[in-house]
Amino acid sequence: MWWIALHAPALSLEAWLAGVPEDERDLPAALLTRHRVSAVNLPARSLGVMVGMRRSTALALVPGLRLGAADPARDAHALKALAHVLLSFTPQVAAASPQGLVAEVQASLRYFGGPGALWARLGEALAPLGHGLHLAHAPTARAASCLARSGPQPGPASTLPDRAWLMQQVQGLPVAVLAAELPVDMNAAWLETCEAMGLASLGDLWAQPRAGLVRRLGTAVLQVLDQLSGDQPHPHEWLRLPDRFSSELELPARAEYTGPLLVAVDVLLVRLSAWLRARQARAQQLELLLHHATRLRASHLGEAGAHLSVLQLALGEPTADASHWRSVLAERLAREPLAAPVLSLTLRCDHAVLGAPPDTDLFPELANPREGLGRLVERLQARLGVEGVTRLSTWPEHRPELAWRAEAAELPPARHPLLEAPPAAARLTRPVWLMSPPEPLPERQSRPWLGTEPLRLLQGPERVEAGWWDQALAARDYFVAQLPAGELVWIYRLRHAPPQGQPGWFLHGRFA
């Protein structure tokens, strides 16, 4: 078997700083657990802040130090996103430590083109999550996990490593790397025993008599050593991909306008994309939950007194493209005033559209007109609202001014008139440009005139008599007429003679 392990040494700090703008992440920052520093970034460490230091001491050294509280739930959301990336390569993924994962990928090698290609694609898939990761590979899960915690390892060769390569790689690892592999409740006194015996590396442990190791260190250490070398099986509890996506991100500071929210939205959408790829699915509907610092005032986003507002978004066609979802969310947030300052965000997707994404061409075109128009409508709806984007549709009505309707340009997942090629049109007998209201025309020498020019009747009459059911009777005879210059117009004559002095001819449309 061939295993890949990843270790995120700064997972807690990176998960907390994920919602911070890019230009502020290099400022001194630290996490606190019970008023003591539990994690510190490089700028703060260079100024003297260390893990275990009291909060007051750290602030005395760096008055502008950005401080946050450690949160295991926040770390779990970040680690879950890393697991979703691994699950898009193999279904056999397990937790290795509070900040690590292991994945058995030998069965996926042929599909991804060999060890080197899989290693490269895995690195590309993990990069958008923005974590500093240590990746390692080995024939056993324990060995890969220990190598990852010791630092980043080079990628694999064209052939898989064997047991001799494994023992050569792990012989020099310090004994302390086993600490994360042992049971949580195991006393750390075994490390002191190793130091007293002069055992500094794993090679030193393997060189000792097994009976003596069991007597001095216990059976757990020897069992982990055997699993690391492959002499004993190592059972795992495989992670399962959830049917619904939900990820929360705490903001580093309360946001009173929508601009800072987009940084956190980007992180959540990258996590969503990883989940969708692992499920081989796409999303069509999302919910963005805004957790507020104070109670909401009554609005369409939520009831008065609540601490939560919900933005619901839908696309015409499902997609796993995080950049497209981001553009739609940005338009929606731009037109939504915040009901109260925001403390954190939650992104949810309850229904994923299963199935492979649409086929792509071997030589793709620069742009897809159908996709481009659909995305334009979606962005306009996000900015103006669904009711603010309309389309024209025909209506079964004989009166021309009532034979069309303006309705919401909704984009169902299947076909939509906005995105379909128009059918082959017959010869156009009615214009699309109608006058509202129809323009009266004078009659001279029994001929209708438009301005100072007489009209010549070319086609007609087309009789329209309708509207008796709604007290808007229209009894007309329509004609296609031509001006001396060649312009075509659409006119009608009242079927019944008008009252004395009233016009009987009207201009109702112009042909393009």
**Domain containing residue 263: CATH number:** 3.30.1490.100
In a domain, 174, yes or no: yes
Is the full-model pTM beyond 0.85? no
In a domain, 240, yes or no: no
In a domain, 456, yes or no: yes
Residues 116 and 188 in one domain: yes
Does 19 have pLDDT greater than 90? Answer: no
* pLDDT, tens only, 120-162: 999 999 999 999 999 999 999 999 999 999 888 888 877 777 8
Query: 390 with 409: CB under 8 angstroms?
Result: yes
Does 10 have pLDDT greater than 50? Answer: yes
Please state, in angstroms and as integers, the Cα–Cα distance from residue 68 to each residue in 41, 137, 146, 457, following that order: 12, 34, 29, 82
Does 396 have pLDDT greater than 80? Answer: yes
Q: Choose between 37 and 390: higher pLDDT.
A: 37
- Among 79-88, 202-211, 498-507, the range of highest mean pLDDT: 79-88
In a domain, 141, yes or no: yes
pLDDT, residue 359, reads 53
pLDDT, residue 419, reads 46
The residue-averaged pLDDT of 400-418 equals 65
pLDDT, residue 390, reads 78
* pLDDT, tens only, 458-482: 888 889 989 888 888 889 999 999 9
Cα separation, 131 vs 9, whole angstroms: 9
Domain boundary among 165, 196, 229: 229
Does 402 have pLDDT greater than 60? Answer: yes
Confidence category of residue 414, pLDDT binned at 50, 70, 90: very low
pLDDT, residue 392, reads 78
Q: Which domain holds residue 220?
A: 3-28+65-229
In a domain, 57, yes or no: no
Does 312 have pLDDT greater than 80? Answer: yes
Query: 49 with 65: CB under 8 angstroms?
Result: yes
Cα angle at 59 between 54 and 61, to 5 degrees?
A: 100
* pLDDT, tens only, 29-43: 999 999 999 999 999
Residues 92 and 225 in one domain: yes
Residues 71 and 201 in one domain: yes
pLDDT, residue 425, reads 47
Does 426 have pLDDT greater than 50? Answer: no
Does 198 have pLDDT greater than 50? Answer: yes
In a domain, 366, yes or no: no
Residues 410 and 446 in one domain: no
Please state, in angstroms and as integers, the Cα–Cα distance from residue 120 to each residue in 3, 113, 116, 155, 157, following that order: 15, 10, 6, 8, 12
Query: 179 with 217: CB under 8 angstroms?
Result: no
Position of tokens 């021309």?
400
In a domain, 379, yes or no: no
Does 268 have pLDDT greater than 80? Answer: yes
Residue 20 corresponds to which amino acid? V
Q: Choose between 390 and 176: higher pLDDT.
A: 176
Residues 22 and 163 in one domain: yes
Q: Which helix (H) or strand (E) holds 123?
A: helix 115-126
* pLDDT, tens only, 319-359: 888 888 888 888 888 877 787 888 889 999 998 888 765 55
Average pLDDT, the chain: 84
Confidence category of residue 361, pLDDT binned at 50, 70, 90: low
Does 303 have pLDDT greater than 60? Answer: no
pLDDT, residue 394, reads 79
3-state class (DSSP) for residue 326: helix
Position of tokens 């309850």?
350
Does 367 have pLDDT greater than 70? Answer: no
Q: Choose between 205 and 377: higher pLDDT.
A: 205
- Among 76-90, 208-222, 242-256, 349-363, the range of highest mean pLDDT: 76-90
Residues 337 and 271 in one domain: yes
The residue-averaged pLDDT of 415-437 equals 63
Residues 315 and 441 in one domain: no
The residue-averaged pLDDT of 199-228 equals 88
pLDDT, residue 302, reads 53
The residue-averaged pLDDT of 284-307 equals 71
In a domain, 365, yes or no: no
Residues 206 and 254 in one domain: no
Q: Which helix (H) or strand (E) holds 251?
A: strand 245-255
Residues 222 and 257 in one domain: no
The residue-averaged pLDDT of 171-183 equals 86
pLDDT, residue 495, reads 86
Domain boundary among 199, 229, 259: 229
Query: 120 with 80: CB under 8 angstroms?
Result: no
Residues 87 and 203 in one domain: yes
Q: Choose between 86 and 387: higher pLDDT.
A: 86
Cα separation, 150 vs 173, whole angstroms: 7
Residues 21 and 82 in one domain: yes
Does 9 have pLDDT greater than 70? Answer: yes
Number of domains in the chain: 4
Residues 277 and 155 in one domain: no
pLDDT, residue 288, reads 92
Confidence category of residue 418, pLDDT binned at 50, 70, 90: very low
Cα separation, 511 vs 41, whole angstroms: 70
* pLDDT, tens only, 56-97: 999 999 999 999 999 999 999 999 999 999 999 999 999 987
